[in-house]
Structures are given as structure tokens and as C-alpha cells.
Amino acid sequence: MSRNSLLPPHIDPSIFQVGNVLLGIGGLGYTICYALIARQSIRDKTYTMPLFSLAFNFAWEIVFAAYVSEEAEDRVIFGLWMLIDLALVYTTVKYGATEWKHAPVIGRNIGKIFFVMLAWCCVGLYAISAWWLDPKHPVNPKVGKVYRGTEGVDVHELGFWTSLVVQVVLSVMSLAQILVRGSGRGSSYSIWATRFIGSLAGLNLNYGYCWWVWPEAHGYYANPLAVLMLVTWLVADLCYLVVFRRVRKTEKVETDKRK
């Protein structure tokens, strides 16, 4: 939550501290997760994060670092994630063709395809953010919310909806990817755990706590669409763990040392 929020008298200021702790856990979890993904991708000579999910995540970090974020520390965190993401992009471009032998045209052009996806996601997220944060006509304005000196503009809700869509895409596509591959190459239990804990703390628990303490300004958390999406990514990630455990028992190491 933005530190510039004007809390009503009945809201305990500790909402800022609790939110910072939960966001900190989420940020730390994803920082470790990205580093582990880069290492595992190089070890297994593959790419881990699904192609569109990587483009979507990278674009979200770019737009929030360059345009949306108010605090310098937030921009630093997004910048750190982008630096680590470059390693994920590298493994995707370098090893991507090996995962697309059934579609060689995609394999040969996977780098170009990725950057087209990245550009599209950046433009889309920027358009949504500019529309949402328009100081003259903000989307769903709320009493007590302040963004860059303008009262009513709720950047916190923008962060919720955009990160929730990114999360659902990542979780569902990751599950689909491991089912198609029939192998856990590029992944590990530690990657799953850090991603799951990071998402749970930074998204579900952080926004859930804000809704519990200050429901007037965070009613969107209980919106049926939000609940559906929050449950969707949780179920998809738990299903991923089940599938990962099963494929780890059956996978073999091929002659090129890829699982």
C-alpha cells in the first residue's frame, strides 16, 4: 500500500507495517525464485518460465518500474527483478529451440517471438495504467487513497488486478507446460516453494489483510472475479506440485544430459 494513503481514524497505522512485511516476503521469495530458475535452466539446458508468462512478467516489471511506482525502493526492486529476468530471457533464447522440435519455425524464431510478446505486453500494461491512474478521470477512486499528490487515485488496486492476471497466467501456463513436456526439467521443489510462498504472501495475504482491516477501500478483494482468480492460481500451483512429484519419479536423463 502507498505510504501516502490517508488512513481514516478507525484504521490502525500498523496496516503499513504488516503490508510491508508481507510484500517483503513476496519480493524475497520471487527474487530467490528467479535466481533459482536461471541456475536450473542453465543446468538442464532448457527454459523454465513459459514464453508468454516471461514476457508478461518482464513487461509488468518494466511498466511499474518506469511509470507506475512512486517510491524509489520499489523501482530498485523491480530493477533487480529485471536484471535477473535477463538471465531467464537468455536461457529462453539459447535453449528454446530444443523444446520446439515439433514446431521448428517457432524454435528458430523464439527470440523474435518473445520480443514481440514483450513489446505487446508493455504497450498493453502502459495503456491500462495510464487509463487507471488518470488524475482527472481515475478508475474506481476511493477516499483516503493518494497517488502523486492526487486524492482518490488508487494505485494499490491497479497493482492488485494486474499482478493477479500475471499470476494466473503464470500458474496456469506453468501447469500446462509441465503436462505437455511430461518432465520436470528446468524446475525444482525450491523453485516451486519460493514462487508459491512469494505469491501467497505478496498477493493473497497482503491484499487480504488490507481488505480485512480497511474493507471500504479494498472491497475489490472480495469481488467474485477476484476470488475466482485467487483460487485459480492456488489450485493450479498445487496441481503443478502433484504433477511435478509424479514426473520426477518417471523421467530419465537423455544422452544430451537433458531430463
49-69 mean pLDDT: 95
Q: Is the dihedral of CA 101, 102, 104, 106 positive or negative?
A: negative
pLDDT at 130: 96
Contact 135, 141 (CB under 8 A): no
> What are φ and ψ of residue 139, in 5° steps?
-80, 130
204-223 mean pLDDT: 94
Instruction: Quickly state the pLDDT bin for 256 (edges 50, 70, 90).
Output: very low
Distances (CA, A) of 153 to 135, 158, 173, 217, 228: 7, 10, 32, 11, 25
Burial call 199-215: b when 16+ CB within 10 Å, e when fewer? bbbbbbbbbbbbbebbe
220-225 mean pLDDT: 96
122-132 mean pLDDT: 97
Instruction: Quickly state the pLDDT bin for 24 (edges 50, 70, 90).
Output: very high
Instruction: Quickly state the pLDDT bin for 42 (edges 50, 70, 90).
Output: very high
Q: Inform me whether the pLDDT recorded for 238 exceeds 60.
A: yes
Q: Inform me whether the pLDDT recorded for 135 exceeds 60.
A: yes
CA angle 244, 164, 222 (to 5 degrees): 115
CA angle 38, 41, 44 (to 5 degrees): 150
Q: How far apart are CA 235 and CA 241, in angstroms?
A: 10
CA angle 22, 23, 25 (to 5 degrees): 65
Distances (CA, A) of 99 to 124, 211, 246: 28, 42, 20
What pLDDT, in 10s, does the model give residues 78-114? 888 899 899 999 999 999 999 998 899 999 999 999 9
Instruction: Quickly state the pLDDT bin for 4 (edges 50, 70, 90).
Output: low
Contact 220, 40 (CB under 8 A): no
What pLDDT, in 10s, does the model give residues 150-175? 889 999 999 999 999 999 999 999 99
29-55 mean pLDDT: 94
